Structures are given as structure tokens and as C-alpha cells.
Amino acid sequence: MLKTKGKKVFVGLSGGVDSSVSASLLKRQGYDVTGVFIKVWQPEFVKCDWREDRLDAMRVCAKLDIPFLDLDLEEEYKKEVFDYMIKEYKEGRTPNPDVMCNKSIKFGGFLKFALDSGADYVATGHYAHNFFEEGKFKMLAGKDNNKDQSYFLWTLGQEQLKYILFPVGHLEKPEVRKIAKKDDLLTAEKKDSQGLCFVGMVEMKDFLKRFLPEEKGDILDEEGKVIGEHDGAHYFTIGQRHGFLVTEKTPEDKPYFVVSKDVVKNTIIVSQKLQKKDSFDRKEIIIKNISWISGENPNFDKKYQARIRYRQILQTCKIDSTPSTDNLKVIFDEPQKAVSEGQSLVIYDGEECLGGGVIGG
């Protein structure tokens, strides 16, 4: 059994209920707990309630009688998360900034700060499991299927996981709120945050216009006929069904979905067939920037499961090598719809998250 008494843990407090309960549970288990509020960069034109969140985090620390610290990671966040996101959109991909935030901020800058300050562990309110078995740290999906966040944690490896605790990973959300209420934490009924603060407050297209200028381009159907106009191919993601104007249509037409885009030619291709099997479905997907939690490649002869977007039902697949040592091919049993370059493809063996990569061309 893990000895907790006297072990020092820094808890990343966001001002939400999950991290608040994480701190409460760890203190109850005998850890020496310190709450840390991480200040990240945000655009000046977006209203984000970080000051209120920081105040809530301070109040939670006061209630639990634990120290409170501020950690300024604005510079790191701007470079590693925001600049990365804009660069990806500019190049025609659809990035996953939450993955980069976990990699570079919560389990990058925050973890380094905690260890340099004498902490034994860091903890967050993520819904995931982390445990040691057969000489390796492993990560399982959170118990709450609706809140499982292992999809956003696939970049973590052995060097990070040995210092990380996920105190609420074995709980479902209603249980977490029940604990918060029992402990009289002011965050008990607080609404969940929507990922990146500055993105959740505005429409993505309106947000991107601040950094990527509009450029009118053609909307094409599957035969290459021009049927409308859009404001810029980099604003769109595969599977999107709004934000563009199709002028060549009839009242009987079904909704159109973006099925392909070309940022060099500044065109998007739309189709009405996304809900059915069509030529844009893909069974084979190349991934890059690959990371395996164990540090070792999985068994290429074994069937696994994977998802190409958050909360997608796990899909059966196998993993194959490619001519490039930097890439791998994931072959699904069933064709996958709306495959977006830049998104994360995360691989599982049952409940265990094995790792993943970034979807390429």
C-alpha cells in the first residue's frame, strides 16, 4: 500500500469541483497538500473568469486549511498551446490544444515547478486512473464514461506518470459533487469548464479571424462543381456542417458537411453523404508524433481499440508499420467518418490507454 503520510503533493486547482475534491481526498488520505492555481495566457479581447476561478481556488484552500500558491505559466502557454493551435489551423489541420495543454503546462511546467519546490507528486482533477503494475505505470480510462479524459492524456509517459495522482478517476461525476457538498466546498454546484477558456467563450471561426485573415474561396461538391463561397479554408474542420454558404441547392437538399479542404487552393469540398458510407470514409489512418505510455511499441499482431475524437465509441483496429519510422498506420475494421488531420488518435487495450499519435495525411 502506498505510504501517504508526509508525502507532499501539489494539486493543480482550477477553481472547479473536480480539482477541489481531489485536494480534499488527498488531504483525507494523509498527504501534505498544497493548492496551486496556474495562470495561463489568454487574448485580451476575450472575457475569461480566471480571477473568479483563482478566488474560488483560494477559498477551497482556506476551507481545507492547506497552503495556496500561484504559478504563472503565461509565456509557456502562449508558445506551446496557443501559437501551436494557430499554426496548425493555418496549415489546414485541426489541432487538439487540450492535449498540448496537458503535455506542456499541467504535466510540463507545473510538474517541473512542483518537483523543483520539493513536492513528491502533482495531482489534477482529470478523470483517469494511474497505477503501477508489472514494473510499469499504466493508465486506465476514468470510471465515468461521460467524463473520461484519458483521450487528452496520451502523451504522458513513465517519467511523468510516476509523479502524477488522479484522485477522482475512480469516481463518477455525481459522486464527486456529493463529496464536495459533504465537505462544504463552494465549488460543489459550480458548472464544468469548457476546456480552453478563451475558445469556449466565442465561436471558433470568430476567434480565428483575429489571427488568420479572411480569404474568399470556392465551395465544391464531390464532382468539383462550384456551389458556393466560404471565408477561408483554414476555418473549417472535417465534418463541420455550418459556417459556409451553399448557393446552388434546393429546399429538398439535406445538410452539407465538410469532407475535404485544401488550404493552398483555399477550397472546401462538401457532401450530403456524411451519415452514409462514401468515398471520404477512411479505414487506414496514418499517425505521427507517436507516444506510448509504456515506452514500448504495442503488439502489431493484436487487435486493439481506438478513437479519433473525444467521446467517440471505441473502434476495433490493428496497428501496422509504415515505410517511415516516424509514422504508424492504424487500420480500422470499419471505415471512419470525418477524419481530421491534426486531431489525436488514441489507442486502447480494453480500459487501458496505451498512447496514440496525431492524425496525418
| pLDDT given for residue 157 in this prediction | 97
Q: Please give the radius of gyration of the chain, using alpha carbons only, rounded to the nearest integer.
A: 22
- The total of other beta-carbon atoms located within 10 Å of residue 342's CB is 18
| pLDDT given for residue 57 in this prediction | 97
**Which amino acid makes up residue 218?**
D
Residue 317 dihedral angles phi and psi, to the nearest 5°: -155, 170
Q: Which of 61, 101, 317, 353 is catalytic?
A: 101
* CATH no. for 213-271: 2.30.30.280
Q: Judge whether 17 is annotated as a binding position.
A: yes
Q: Judge whether 285 is annotated as a binding position.
A: no
CA distance 77 to 109: 9
**101 labelled catalytic:** yes
CATH 2.30.30.280-classified regions of the chain: 213-271
CA distance 361 to 341: 6
Q: In what helix (H) or strand (E) does residue 180 lie, and over which residues does it extend? A: helix 173-182
Q: Judge whether 279 is annotated as a binding position.
A: no
CA distance 307 to 357: 11
Query: Quick check: 307 and 313 in contact, CB under 8 A?
Result: yes
CATH 3.40.50.620-classified regions of the chain: 8-200
**353 labelled catalytic:** no
Q: State which fold the 8-200 domain adopts.
A: Rossmann fold (3.40.50)
| pLDDT given for residue 242 in this prediction | 86
| Domain 282-359 class, CATH top level | mainly beta
Contacting residues for 15 by C-beta, under 8 A, at least 6 apart: 37, 52, 53, 54, 55, 56, 57, 60, 187, 190
Q: Judge whether 18 is annotated as a binding position.
A: yes
Interhelix angle 173-182/17-28, rounded to 10 degrees, is 60
Beta-ladder partners of 33:
9
Which segments of the chain have a pLDDT < 70? 1-5, 194-202, 274-279, 323
Q: Which residue has the cell 501534505?
A: 32
Instruction: Please give the grid coordinates belonging to residue 271.
Output: 457532401
Put simply, whether the predicted model's pTM sits higher than 0.85 gets the answer: yes
Torsion-angle region of residue 218: left (phi > 0), alpha (psi -120 to 50) or beta?
Answer: beta
Q: Which of 48, 61, 197, 317 is catalytic?
A: 197
Q: Judge whether 15 is annotated as a binding position.
A: yes
| pLDDT given for residue 48 in this prediction | 75
CATH 2.40.30.10-classified regions of the chain: 282-359
